[in-house]
Amino acid sequence: MDTPWTMNLPSPDTLINRELGILEFQRRVLAQAEDPTVPLLERLRFLCIFSSNMDEFFEVRVAGLKEQILANSTQRSADGLTPRQQYRAVSETAHALVARQYELFNREIIPALAQEGVHFIRRTHWNEAQAAWIRDYFFRELMPVLTPVGLDPAHPFPRVLNKSLNFAVELSGRDAFGRNSGAAVVQAPRALPRVIRMPEEIAGCEYGFVFLSSILHAHVGELFTGMTVEGCYQFRATRNSDLFVDEEETKNLRQALQGELPQRNFGAAVRLEVADNCSPAMAAFLLEQFELGADDLYQENGPVNLVRLMQVPDWVDRPDLKFPPFVPALPTRLGKDDDIFTQIRKGDILLHHPFESFQPVIDFIERAAADPQVLAIRQTVYRTGTDSKLMQALIRAAQSGKEVTVVVELLARFDEEANINWAARLEEAGAHVVYGVVGHKTHAKLALVVRREDGGLRRYAHLGTGNYHARTARLYTDFGLMTCDDTVTADVSSLFTQITGLGKAGKLKRLWQSPFTLHSEVVAAINREAEFAAAGKPAAIVAKMNALLEPQVIAALYAASQAGVKIDLIVRGVCALKPGIAGLSDNIRVRSIVGRFLEHTRIFYFRNGGDEQVYLSSADWMDRNFFRRIETGFPILNPKLKKRVIAEGLKPYLRDNVQAWEMQPDGSYRRRAKRGAKAFCAQTTLLALLAR
């Protein structure tokens, strides 16, 4: 018989749709570009981030819906919608968001930048000198690399790369061979810049830019001598970018992926973007070529590839239009002694990125690679970048004869090519490279060093919530723990043995691990809080993560709320749980923080009858993280560091009234009202507290 604080899985009407929840997050990202208190060039950057996020949403999420529709799937989402119902709702919301994006770009961002001396000069406003410079640029830099394709029986519609910039050209007249097909396609090579900076003396201002699309529009006729250009329209197709690799049947995953990666550029089309002046006839023709319907068409008032403006803020030297610079701090202990192993032996070290430097993590691996007392290094790699100092250190360690084992996740979406390259280089250096466990992505963030000390062996470990990626460590909020605690490092060692070898999973003493114990431990911890509340004792849960979707966890949270547990959830992205519903989730509050840094930490706090539990994790509360990935949750055992995690990772975010959005029961979000209170921004406060 169920106890009063347990319940069955949540019914569909108590859940928010995943796809619509993702779009609600994109709405909050777009709101950063709308916010006049955000520096102007950063507002432009947020517009580009929104574009990039939407690209991935179509490449993966919309592509998945379309595959289900094509297969006539009747499987409903957790909230009870069919694939077609989801697609219709997604299409309506996405069209509205994109329309708002371009309205913001044209009516606010571009005029505001012009007032600050940063001009995007449209072709209708070129003066004689500018037109001459652009004409020369076209013949010198563009025309030699452009290949126009006239459409006729001998020249079928070309294979258009995923997200590439293209131009559909309507023509009249006959060419040298007497052909008059009336249409052509010009593809802009990816090597060409999408924004070109004019010389200051030509632009008439310090920062004058012209769009590649404007130059091609003005001179496309030069590619079709003797014919008349009746219309020229930008277009861009987004394709399904999920890779299909049958891990069960594949003998060499790396080789299989290398063969599959080039096909990502030619998956089934899922979206067509065109300039808003595109003729109805041409739009219909393009939709037909890509086998898309009217709902898949996005007509946009401006460049169809806004994501390529991401570099503009870096090109413009105007600090007053950007976020203030900062220098990540180095923990005091690490500044006193060059021997990082000595410092770790003195006690666990907590790093809070990006406010604190990622350099100690690099130093940890580099020092291990160079230290003759170090016998072995093991590390997981999910995302690390193309110029990683960490990977270079591991290569040096392997070359020097150390036992180096690297678990490389080849199926890290959109990082597959970089990871394949690192895997090859590591193997050439003599490292043991494994690709995890079939059917389970290795998403845990772990590094283990085995060192000979005083006649015995000691293990040192780094465990984190974020990737081993120095660049994103300046952009994402994450925690990392460096420790030589015997039980924790023994667990890390056991986990590596599980991944690289064979055999049944042994019970870990400190770590929670997917796919074996993380889910059950999280649910058990939630249920314990419900038991405390039902017994009339104080009970509380605070959890911070990127996404919350797993139904059993949501059911446990609903039950805990009904038992009287006070629950605060800080969920950056999609949250399927509905807060604040009478009789169901009265005691649950959900908020999202969207700001300068991408919130990426996963922190799980349980009051636990006064013996507070604090876990950091690589995992969100999603089905995939609990059951289809190798993840870890690791406890903060040092009381001082536990207080730090609470004081830095949770309390400021619960207090934030600047960048916080509060989720409503219907899944929408509202900015948290200040109501006369002094403005408090978590990220700004942490910068002032920790960084320099």
pLDDT tens for each residue of 212-246: 999 999 999 999 888 889 999 999 999 988 744 44
User: How far, in whole angstroms, is CA 339 from its chain's centroid?
Assistant: 35
Lowest mean pLDDT among 19-33, 149-163, 573-587: 149-163
Task: Read off the pLDDT band of 147 (50, 70, 90).
Answer: confident
| Domain co-membership, 138 together with 263 | yes
Query: Distance between CA 645 and CA 635 in Å, rounded?
Result: 11
- pTM of the predicted protein model: 0.93
Residue bearing the bigger pLDDT, 16 or 240: 16
Domain boundary at 507, 531, 559, which?
Answer: 507
**Residue listed under structure tokens 């690799």:** 245
Task: Read off the pLDDT band of 415 (50, 70, 90).
Answer: low
Residue bearing the bigger pLDDT, 606 or 436: 606
pLDDT of amino acid 276: 93
Range of the domain at 60: 18-321
Mean pLDDT throughout 459-466? 98
Lowest mean pLDDT among 118-132, 147-161, 271-285, 336-350: 147-161
Mean pLDDT throughout 676-683? 90
- Pinpoint the alpha helices (H) of 59-127: 63-70, 83-104, 110-115
Lowest mean pLDDT among 142-156, 228-242, 443-457: 142-156
φ, ψ dihedrals at 388, nearest 5°? -75, 125
Q: Is the pLDDT of residue 153 over 70?
A: no
Question: Is position 443 annotated as part of the catalytic site?
Answer: yes
Give the three-state DSSP class for 414: coil
pLDDT of amino acid 245: 41
| Domain co-membership, 404 together with 438 | yes
Task: Read off the pLDDT band of 68 (50, 70, 90).
Answer: very high
8 domain-assigned = no
Mean pLDDT throughout 186-202? 93
Domain boundary at 321, 345, 376, which?
Answer: 321
| Domain co-membership, 35 together with 81 | yes
Residue 24 in contact with residue 667, Cβ under 8 Å?
yes
Q: Is the pLDDT of residue 250 over 60?
A: no
| Domain co-membership, 408 together with 294 | no
* CATH code for the domain of 113: 3.30.1840.10
Domain boundary at 483, 507, 531, which?
Answer: 507
Helices (H) and strands (E) in the chain, counts: 23, 27
- Compute the C-alpha angle 231/235/239, nearest 5°: 155
140 domain-assigned = yes
| Domain co-membership, 485 together with 570 | no
| Domain co-membership, 409 together with 536 | no
Residue 420 in contact with residue 345, Cβ under 8 Å?
no
**How many Å is the Cα radius of gyration of the chain?**
27
Task: Read off the pLDDT band of 176 (50, 70, 90).
Answer: low
Residue bearing the bigger pLDDT, 257 or 110: 110
| Domain co-membership, 500 together with 519 | no
Contacts 24+ apart (CB under 8 A), 246-250: 247/438, 247/439, 248/438, 248/439
- Among 146-150, 499-503, 613-617, the range with the most confident prediction by mean pLDDT is 613-617
Residue bearing the bigger pLDDT, 592 or 423: 592
Query: Distance between CA 219 and CA 508 in Å, rounded?
Result: 67
Q: Which residues contact 367 (CB under 8 A, 6 or more apart)?
A: 339, 340, 341
| Domain co-membership, 542 together with 575 | yes
6 domain-assigned = no
Task: Read off the pLDDT band of 692 (50, 70, 90).
Answer: confident
639 to each of 341, 448, 613, how far by Cα in Å? 21, 23, 10
* Burial of residue 633 (number of CB atoms within 10 Å: 0-12, 13-18, 19+): buried
pLDDT of amino acid 14: 95
Task: Read off the pLDDT band of 2 (50, 70, 90).
Answer: very low
Mean pLDDT throughout 242-269? 52
* Pairing label, strands 603-606, 613-617: antiparallel
Q: What is the pLDDT of residues 630-668, one digit of tens each?
A: 999 999 999 999 999 999 999 999 999 999 999 999 999
Residue of 119, 217, 353, 443 marked catalytic:
443
Lowest mean pLDDT among 147-161, 268-282, 337-351: 147-161
Paired tokens of 189 = 């090579």
71 domain-assigned = yes
- Among 5-14, 111-120, 235-244, 412-421, the range with the most confident prediction by mean pLDDT is 111-120
Query: Distance between CA 140 and CA 222 in Å, rounded?
Result: 13
| Domain co-membership, 568 together with 649 | yes
pLDDT of amino acid 384: 87
* CATH code for the domain of 393: 3.30.870.10
| Other C-beta atoms lying within 10 Å of the C-beta of residue 139 | 11
pLDDT of amino acid 179: 58
- Compute the C-alpha angle 664/667/673, nearest 5°: 35
Q: Look over the chain and give the mean of its residue pLDDT values, rounded to a whole number.
A: 91
Task: Read off the pLDDT band of 265 (50, 70, 90).
Answer: low
Q: Is the pLDDT of residue 100 over 90?
A: yes
Lowest mean pLDDT among 6-15, 138-147, 356-365: 6-15
Please report how many Cα atoms fall inside a 13 Å half-sphere around the Cα of residue 328, on the Cβ side.
19
Lowest mean pLDDT among 307-311, 572-576, 650-654: 307-311
2 domain-assigned = no
pLDDT of amino acid 259: 46
Fill in the DSSP letter of residue 621. B
Q: Is the pLDDT of residue 437 over 80?
A: no
Residue bearing the bigger pLDDT, 215 or 173: 215
pLDDT of amino acid 155: 66
Mean pLDDT throughout 559-582? 98
Task: Read off the pLDDT band of 351 (50, 70, 90).
Answer: very high
| Domain co-membership, 291 together with 374 | no
| Other C-beta atoms lying within 10 Å of the C-beta of residue 244 | 9
**Residue listed under structure tokens 């299989």:** 256
pLDDT of amino acid 180: 65
What share of the chain in percent tops pLDDT 90? 79
Q: Is the pLDDT of residue 412 over 70?
A: no
3 domain-assigned = no
Residue bearing the bigger pLDDT, 334 or 535: 535
Query: Distance between CA 18 and CA 599 in Å, rounded?
Result: 19
pLDDT of amino acid 181: 67
| Domain co-membership, 485 together with 622 | no
Mean pLDDT throughout 511-538? 96
pLDDT of amino acid 260: 47
Query: Distance between CA 564 and CA 560 in Å, rounded?
Result: 6
pLDDT of amino acid 505: 67
366 domain-assigned = yes
Q: Which residues contact 614 (CB under 8 A, 6 or more apart)?
A: 603, 604, 605, 635, 636, 642, 645, 646
Positive or negative, the CA dihedral 162, 163, 164, 165 is positive
Q: Is the pLDDT of residue 322 over 60?
A: yes
Fill in the DSSP letter of residue 609. G
Query: Distance between CA 480 and CA 668 in Å, rounded?
Result: 33
Paired tokens of 306 = 């806004």
Paired tokens of 288 = 């037909």
Mean pLDDT throughout 553-558? 98
| Domain co-membership, 418 together with 519 | no
**What's the structural domain count of the chain?**
3
Provide the angle, in degrees to the nearest 10, between the axes of the packed helices 18-34 and 83-104. Answer: 0
341 domain-assigned = yes
Query: Distance between CA 256 and CA 81 in Å, rounded?
Result: 35
